[in-house]
A and B are shown apart, each in its own frame.
Chain A
Amino acid sequence: MIKSKTIKFGDNVDTDQIIPAQYLSQATIQQMAPHTFEFYGNFTKDFKPGDIIAGNDNFGCGSSREQAPAVLKERGVSAVVARSFARIFYRNAINIGLLLVECEKADEIRQGDVLEIDTEMGAIRNITSDSTLEITPLPPFMQEILNCGGIVKYLDNRRG
């Protein structure tokens, strides 16, 4: 169970926004992480470790840079909720064990809303607006990778 406030974005949040190109040459994710969403005051001013990121459609589109989910994880994002995710971002996030939650009604979530995410129950409780939002379950194969904590451990397990 995850409970925290939300930092809200709109449609088509691209990976250049999450971590701009000029920082990808830095040696470690820890060095890049302070530049996460650096053009966005709602994130730079209000984000606290454990908070939830929410977007609408096509979250994480654009560049294949795995540094995007990696800096979100490094900053302590507890989950990313969106109506839909871009393919490469989705795969990268699952691979590194960052929780993604697909929710048809993510557009109803507002900046600052406090959410309670219960992936087992398949629901998000929006405490601020006193409503419940249904979660689209992860495909079983992706859930298995996430349960293992990412693709590396999944492959280890598969080899026995």
Chain B
Amino acid sequence: MNAIEKIIATHAGLKVVKPGQIVDVKLDYVMANDATTTLAIDVFKKELKGERVFDREKVVLVMDHYTPCCSVDAAETHKKMRQFGMDQELKYVYDGVGVCHQLMLEHHAKPGDFIIGADSHTCTYGAIGALSTGMGSTDVAVGWKEGKVWIKVPPVIKIHVSGKWPKGVYSKDLVLKVIGDLTAKGATYKALVFEGEAVRDLTVSERATLCNMGIEAGAKFAYVQPDDKVKAFMKEWGREYYPVIEPDEDASYERVLTYNVANLEPQIAYPHSVDQVKPLSDFEGLEIDEVFLGACTNGRFEDLETAAAILKGKRISDKVRMLVTPASNAVYMEAMERGLIRNFIESGAMVSPPGCSACFGGTIGIIGPGERLLTTANRNFKGRVGSPDGEIYLASPATAAASALYGKITDPRKVI
């Protein structure tokens, strides 16, 4: 069996599972955020007649999409979430502390876990070797009540990545390239496993960018086999590291795609679909109105550090506004202590408290008709961040920072 099958088998209490098989799996965590929780609460109470969640320490609620609230509706949503958290005596209810996926990485997910979340980017925790996937509010409510859900064992596509990373090219560029090749539906019902020398060379933070975007190709899971870097990450966060499940040598995969990053250029996904990807050079010089650095895709410390190094001592163009949103308070504080927040502010960027911010068009940083947003987030859907007559381009933090300096899409290799 491959690692995906082994983790599913462990949670299903079976010795062997095969692709296509439907099994019930035990859940290590069930996460929900403020865009999806209230619907789940309604289903839990009214339809499932739920009284208590299966485990008060395994149900995690996060207010990140609408926090701090900018509407009375959102404030009511939060009120209902907090009340549910209190009624159920939940141990983990976060508000304004960070994006749900970053908090799950920092405080909860472990290698070998099986986790569901009412958010499509739940697949992020594959970066530390957990199997995690997004589901809707009803499935999550069932998970709250039962502590398990049904899942169909997916076929696995292996993405083998070799080569040394060139300057100015990052895991975001690789994953955009992969999604462009696979298409937005290329991994639907399937799992992606990233492996090879170039993946081993990535930090946990960069691996999180890879896994985060698996859903943009439709993937159920995205996964990187944990190694010493994951071990160090777990230790850094004061958590135990469990023995890791290794794939069998004769593990089977549906197919293997191979990449070599040595020749990879910075990539851009252009409106209005994440699989519309071309090398940055095709868009060089395209004028932009707003730059967003943040999100569960690229709002971690290293992302901020890369961007701040490019901006240091310089001013962003008068033609753009730039918004920086750390993915969590831990990221925020580290960025403060290392002087990055000062760099951003002195360069002319705005810095907001942690949360989904301008990735999700629910609170701040939204764009007007005819405006162009260059963002480190994961989606460029029409109207995702404000006006449906605006345009959204996706890129790496380095590309975002370089482009902010010139007010137009700029190759970061020119300024690093």
List the interface of chain A (C-beta within 8 A of B): 12, 14, 16-17, 20-22, 24-27, 29, 39, 57-58, 61-67, 69-70, 84, 86-88, 91-92, 95-96, 141, 150-152, 155
Contact = CB atoms under 8 A, between A and B. Distances in A.
A21 B117 CA distance: 18
A100 to B, nearest CB: 14
Interface string B90-123: 0000000000000000000000000001111010
Interface string B356-374: 0000111000000000000
Nearest to A153: B47
A87 to B, nearest CB: 5
Given A26-B73, A58-B188, 4 more contacts: A16-B383, A17-B381, A27-B77, A88-B136
Interface in B268-291: 273, 275
B138 A24 contact: no
Interface of B: 22, 34-36, 38-39, 43, 47-48, 65-66, 71, 73-74, 76-77, 117-120, 122, 134-139, 142, 146, 150, 184-185, 188-189, 218, 220, 273, 275, 360-362, 379, 381-384, 388
B218 A95 contact: no
B136 A66 contact: yes
Contacts of B384: 16, 21
Given A17-B381, A25-B77, A67-B39, A61 B184 contact: yes
Lowest 5 A-B CB distances belong to which pairs?
A66-B136, A92-B136, A58-B185, A25-B74, A64-B134
Nearest to B38: A27
Given A12-B273, A64-B135, A88-B120, A27 B73 contact: yes
Nearest to A95: B138
A64 to B, nearest CB: 4
B380 to A, nearest CB: 10
Contacts of B189: 87
Contact of A24 (B35, B273, B383): B35
Given A21-B362, A58-B188, A64-B118, A92 B138 contact: yes
Contacts of A61: 184-185, 218
10 contacts: A22-B361, A58-B188, A65-B36, A66-B118, A66-B136, A70-B39, A84-B188, A87-B188, A95-B136, A95-B138
A102 to B, nearest CB: 12
Given A12-B184, A25-B66, A87-B188, A64 B138 contact: no
A152 B218 contact: no
B134 A58 contact: no
B276 to A, nearest CB: 10
Interface of B is mostly: loop
Contacts of B275: 12
Nearest to B188: A87
A39 to B, nearest CB: 4
A62 B136 CA distance: 12
A111 B38 CA distance: 35
Contact of B383 (A17, A57, A69, A96): A17
Nearest to A24: B35
A29 B39 CA distance: 9
A58 B135 contact: no
B120 A152 contact: no
A86 B219 CA distance: 9
Contacts of A14: 379, 381
A154 B136 CA distance: 16
Contacts of A141: 22, 150
B365 to A, nearest CB: 12
Contacts of A57: 185
B142 A63 contact: no
Contacts of B66: 25
Contacts of B142: 151-152, 155
Contacts of B382: 16-17, 39
A27 B39 CA distance: 9
